[in-house]
A = this chain, B = another copy of it.
Amino acid sequence: MNRRKFIKTAGLGVAASATLAAPAIAQSGEIRWRMTASWPKSLDTLFGGCEHLAKRVSDMTGGKFQIRPFAAGEIVPALQVLDAVAAGTVECGHTAPYYYIGKDPTFAFATAIPFGLNQRQQIAWMEFGDGRTLMNEFYKDYNIVGLTAGNTGAQMGGWFRKELKSVADMKGLKMRIGGFAGQVLSRPGLELVPQQLGAPDIYPALEKGTIDAAEWVGPYDDEKLGFNKVAEYYYYPGWWEGGPQLDLMVGMRAWESLSAEYKAILSAASFETYLWTTAKYDAQNPAALRRLIAGGAKLRPFPRDIMAAAWKASNDLYEETSAKNAKFKKVYDNWSKFRDEENRWFRFAEGSFDNFMQSVSLQPIKRG
């Protein structure tokens, strides 16, 4: 809970890796890495974050440490970043760890689980709670090290072709929805049919009617991906992604080859990218939302009974998953205690300030 802890977790076991053999690559003076991303080039906040991270590492090393980002599909598909890094096909990758819950649901804590942490709480748990320590312990089995390297902020609930009047309207809907949320939404009482698709595949599926609904991030990205052209109702909040984090996954061998200086530089560039990504979304989303509504999008809050059913279904799922999976339980117990403490405090200074400021803002955005 102090500076040393942050550095230790940021530096990811410097003590352990410092005892390894001399870093052969670093000593040659020039390092060239490839970074495979889960994002298409068109998303200048997510893929732009990869470019920002690489540029900053280059700036800090006078061009001696070069990382080249590749978009989804250039080396491997969007949802195979972990596999490519674990196998050593590339040195690192930028992705949302919850894409890999098929391997183990524990991955989700490094991004978001439904009714989870907001952007501030996520980094607080990762760096001053036990988040990063627990996740890197878990990542060891996959031969990777994770650096905190992005966050979108709270997302929107996505685009629906039909208006949702109550929880009954969720039943049977085919929806593109990432991570753990699909499991929640397919439970009794909700019974939606979740689909996991990478960004480039969502629009065609929605256009053809293969799916009835889709969520991605928020106004700025969603406008770029064109979802408003094929679905009219835009729901909030994305209760399954209150502050989803992105990781730079680094292959263990590549990480251990770095000098202590380059490890510090790579992790500082990653932390900066966490801040950069959220700030860019926050700056761009307001105008994008206005454009979407001017173009016909109808902004709607999820009905209360959907929120209540999803909250109950999420808690039930976490209990069941904890009973079956000891790794998940270990992280969940730590995480849920931290989350509850955060929300008890956030309602006072932060929550009441934000609510006041939102209540006095003039010319509110009309909901369409």
- Near B by CB (< 8 A), chain A positions 341-367 give 341-358, 360-365
**A223 to chain B: which residues have CB within 8 Å?**
none
Q: Is the CB of B154 within 8 A of A353?
A: yes
Tell yes or no: A60 within 8 A of B by CB.
yes
Which segment, of A15-23, A169-177, A265-273, faces chain B? A265-273
A233 an interface residue at 8 Å Cβ cutoff?
no
Q: Which residue from chain B places its CB closest to the CB of A267 in the assembled complex?
A: B272
How far apart are A59's CB and chain B's nearest CB, in angstroms? 4
Contact B341 A278 (CB under 8 A): no
Q: Is A228 an interface residue (CB 8 A)?
A: no
Given known pairs A128-B283, A265-B60, A283-B128, the reply for A301 and B352 (CB within 8 Å) is: yes
A118, B357: Cβ atoms closer than 8 Å: yes
Whether B348 contacts A124 by the Cβ 8 Å rule is: no
A278 touching B348 in the complex, CB below 8 Å, given contacts A154-B353, A271-B271: no
Chain B residues contacting A285 (CB-CB under 8 Å) are 345
Would you list which residues of chain A between 117 and 145 have a CB under 8 Å from chain B? 118-121, 123-129
A286 proximal to B (CB < 8 A): yes
Copies in the complex: 2
CB distance from A2 to the nearest CB of B (A): 7
A77: min CB distance to chain B, Å: 25
Interface extent on A, as a size class? Answer: 35 or more
Asked if A61 is at the interface (CB within 8 A of a chain B CB), the reply is yes
Smallest CB–CB gap between A151 and chain B, Å? 10
In the complex, A238 has a CB within 8 A of chain B: yes
Whether A275 lies near B274 (C-beta < 8 A) is yes
Docked-complex contact B352 and A354, CB < 8 angstroms: no
User: Which A residues contact B (CB, under 8 angstroms)?
Assistant: 1-3, 6-7, 11, 44, 48, 51-52, 55-56, 59-62, 115, 118-121, 123-129, 153-156, 218-219, 236-239, 242, 259-261, 264-265, 268-269, 271-272, 274-276, 278-280, 282-287, 289, 299, 301, 307, 311, 339-358, 360-365
Closest 10 CB pairs of A and B: A128-B283, A59-B264, A237-B353, A124-B282, A286-B345, A343-B361, A347-B358, A286-B341, A154-B349, A124-B283
